[in-house]
Amino acid sequence: MEARDHIILFPFMAQGHLIPFVSLAKLLQRRTNCLVTLLSTPLNVQKFRSVLPPDAPIQVHSLPFDASDHGLPLGAENTDGLPFPLWVRLFHASRALRPAFEQFLSDFRRRHGRPPLCVVADFFLGWTLFAARAMGVYHAVFTTCGAYGTAAFISLWGNLPHTKTEEEQFHLPGFPESFRLERSQMSLYMRAADGNDEWSRFFREISPPCFESDALLCNSVAEMEPFGLEVLRGMMKMPVWCIGLTLPPSSLHRHPSSSFSDNRTGKETGISITDCVEWLNTHPPSSVLYISFGSQNTISETQMLKLAEGLESAGHPFIWVVRPPIGHDVNADFREEWLPEGFEERMRERKQGILVRKWAPQLEILAHESTGAFLSHCGWNSVLESMSQGVPIIAWPLASDQFYNSKMMEEELGVSLELTRGLVAEITVQTVVNVTQQVLGKTEKSADMKKKALVVSDMIRASMVEENGKTGSAINAVDEF
């Protein structure tokens, strides 16, 4: 029998969740004397293996999972005859993992003579609580979002407002009386508010057990969002810890070919770090706009055209990770007709911009001194990566927690400016020109945003310090946990 205690980490199977869980595994392994095991489906376990150094003292374990046997076969269609979106397939697939997880815990106890010390499960896998409780195992929930975003999300799901106009404002229970959200800051699926859509059903199912868990771990830094953390703590009865984030040196971002990039087509999907860095080297400090909408989101064809026209008019250099617009297969080859005629060639010749197909070495781009701003959908990983490098954000939130992340960064931290919001937002050339000029031009606003972003970057770094007996707040939170 092993003398060491064992921690089981169980992420939801989406890109934006896998990355922070790998970081958490490394952090827990470093700070505890425990064995750490990452649990997932066979495909994701392969991804874990590819990003963990071969000698990493972290185990990975694959739960048996048959993609065609989770009640919603890949390629299945909904009643409109459209393929189910990736998220819906993932919801169904994650539910199907429950018996396999329960079996895993039983087998574990039989093999080791005792259960694991602790299970840390994704917020999206709330049902893990039942098996953990049945075996007397300590259960923690890890939210891959920030504290502010998690609090807003929890409050909204419990109190979906029946607003009508986009600008109509409403109060969010649990937040101070003066706090307001607008209808346009709710994801499209929340606006129907009839509770019968896939998202509502899923959240109704997974949330209650999360509220009964023993601890809530947040992928964030306490100093960065004191307001959000206070609100979240007020909502939860268990301890809430901001355990920070682990950034460079990170094998996740050093080698794009072995990163979590979606490379199902087998084609080279990205741009090499060297090509990116060489291109960035030819531009002055803080001058380049990096544009990416994360691993899943994309914008419409009309929005893409307007953004391109706006970028061309604005004249700031840019690196843009282009993906097929809404309504097209995310793995489809990019078609030039989705952009203004001759756009890519003109931008390349003028040395104004490069387009990256599908996947870019994001962290390396953000870390380069020529990168001056990040036009982002405000996925939480992108926010943290940008802030860790002191790069201000131009926000275009598209779904889920992205709206609250954008609001928090603009109102609480002053490091972001919202360009527009939503999947159906109208965007004009003039707005792109105005906003990019405010953030990248030599303006008072840009200087102020840069200064504030550097302060946040320092906060993040200080929170993660663990040297010469000194530890930052995030490390202290991990130790307390």
Q: Which stretch binds ligand UDX (CB under 6 A): 32-40, 116-124, 347-355, 380-388?
A: 380-388
**Any contact of residue 296 with ligand UDX (CB under 6 A)?**
yes
Nearest approach in angstroms of CB 359 to ligand UDX is: 4
Nearest approach in angstroms of CB 479 to ligand UDX is: 25
**Any contact of residue 143 with ligand UDX (CB under 6 A)?**
no
**Any contact of residue 359 with ligand UDX (CB under 6 A)?**
yes
Nearest approach in angstroms of CB 362 to ligand UDX is: 3
Neighbours of 193 (CB within 10 A): 14
Q: Which two tokens stand for residue 295?
A: 């691993």
* Among 44, 150, 295, 473, contact with ligand UDX (rule: CB under 6 A): 295
**Any contact of residue 385 with ligand UDX (CB under 6 A)?**
yes
Smaller CB separation from ligand UDX, 108 or 124: 124
* Among 380, 396, 403, 481, contact with ligand UDX (rule: CB under 6 A): 380
Pairing, β 118-122 against β 6-10:
parallel
Smaller CB separation from ligand UDX, 96 or 321: 321
Q: CB under 8 Å, gap of 24 or more: what pairs does 180-189 form?
A: 181/152, 181/156, 181/403, 181/404, 181/407, 184/421, 184/422, 185/397, 185/403, 185/404, 185/407, 185/421, 186/156, 186/160, 186/403, 187/399, 187/400, 187/403, 188/399, 188/422, 188/423, 188/424
Nearest approach in angstroms of CB 405 to ligand UDX is: 7
Cα 167 to chain centroid, rounded: 26
Nearest approach in angstroms of CB 385 to ligand UDX is: 5
Nearest approach in angstroms of CB 397 to ligand UDX is: 8
Smaller CB separation from ligand UDX, 370 or 381: 381
Smaller CB separation from ligand UDX, 41 or 298: 298
Smaller CB separation from ligand UDX, 362 or 420: 362
**Any contact of residue 290 with ligand UDX (CB under 6 A)?**
no
Residues 390-409 that bind ligand UDX (CB under 6 A): 400-402
Q: Which two tokens stand for residue 177?
A: 């009386």
Helix axis angle, 86-96 relative to 98-112, nearest 10°? 40
Residue 455 Cα distances to 352, 395, 408, angstroms: 30, 19, 16
**Any contact of residue 144 with ligand UDX (CB under 6 A)?**
yes
Nearest approach in angstroms of CB 117 to ligand UDX is: 27
Nearest approach in angstroms of CB 323 to ligand UDX is: 9
Burial annotation 283-317 (CB, 10 A radius, 16+ → b, else e)? beebbbbbbbbbbbbbbbbebbbbbbbbbbebebb
Identify any residues that bridge with 37 across adjacent strands, giving them in sequence order: 8, 59
Smaller CB separation from ligand UDX, 44 or 292: 292
**Any contact of residue 215 with ligand UDX (CB under 6 A)?**
no
Smaller CB separation from ligand UDX, 190 or 321: 321
Nearest approach in angstroms of CB 85 to ligand UDX is: 13
What is the binding site for ligand UDX (CB under 6 A)? 15-16, 19, 144-145, 292, 294-297, 321, 359-360, 362-363, 379-382, 385, 400-402
